[in-house]
Amino acid sequence: AAGVIQSPRHLIKEKRETATLKCYPIPRHDTVYWYQQGPGQDPQFLISFYEKMQSDKGSIPDRFSAQQFSDYHSELNMSSLELGDSALYFCASSQTGVGASEQYFGPGTRLTVT
Amino acid sequence: AQSVTQLGSHVSVSEGALVLLRCNYSSSVPPYLFWYVQYPNQGLQLLLKYTSAATLVKGINGFEAEFKKSETSFHLTKPSAHMSDAAEYFCAVSPNNAGNMLTFGGGTRLMVKP
């Protein structure tokens, strides 16, 4: 079965640079979520999109922005990177209106800021 | 606001022993509860979910969890631990199942001794 695809899997950036993370949801899933997991921490919700509109917003810094495109893939744009942004970034997708719409997670993008 | 608390950041059991990972929730409305497992350097995989149907939920890999409203708990159990069960386990809550964000507990690292 198709899973959530995230690219790149690993990314190394320097402070003050920008980064773009991409997420391709499971086919027919209409909702995408972004989570940030710092070292030894639980995942923290950043932002979500339903049918290309922002649906929920969590602890996402103003330096970050995201969007969902017409093909339902999503991109997380991160600017003015800081050392503290080093983390594992997960994308998850779900299909609303079909039973209990659990979220399916991708393998994550490991971002290292040096 | 909803939250979950996982008691014990590390749990160690012998192979073949009972696994019990504790999760207590706080919610002003009937919650939807989930258990996810994360293997090293991988994404989160859904083990099971509670969606207000049966209070005893069976999941994958022989795991199950029981929703107890009187105790506000959703503990995860497995009768007999395997070495392959060693991983990080996260309890999570969402206000409903219609595409809302997940709030995770702090995670419990399960270690299985031979």
B34 contacts on A by Cβ (under 8 Å): 102
Q: Residue A83 — left, alpha, or beta (φ > 0 → left; ψ -120 to 50 → alpha)? A: alpha
Per the prediction, chain B carries an average pLDDT of 90
Do residue B101 and residue A56 have CB atoms under 8 angstroms apart?
yes
Is there a contact between A72 and A32 (Cβ–Cβ < 8 Å)?
yes
What's the mean pLDDT in B47-52?
Answer: 87
- For every one of its 114 residues, what pLDDT tens digit does chain A have, with 9 covering 90 and above? 689 999 999 999 999 999 999 999 999 898 999 999 998 888 999 999 988 999 889 989 999 999 999 999 999 999 999 999 999 999 999 887 655 568 899 999 999 999
Q: Measuring CA to CA, which residue among B48, B35, B50 is closest to residue B88?
A: B35
Do residue B44 and residue A55 have CB atoms under 8 angstroms apart?
no
Which of B100, B103, B108 would best serve as a mutation to test chain A binding (most A beta carbons within 10 A)?
A: B100
From A100, which residue of chain B is nearest by alpha-carbon distance?
B97
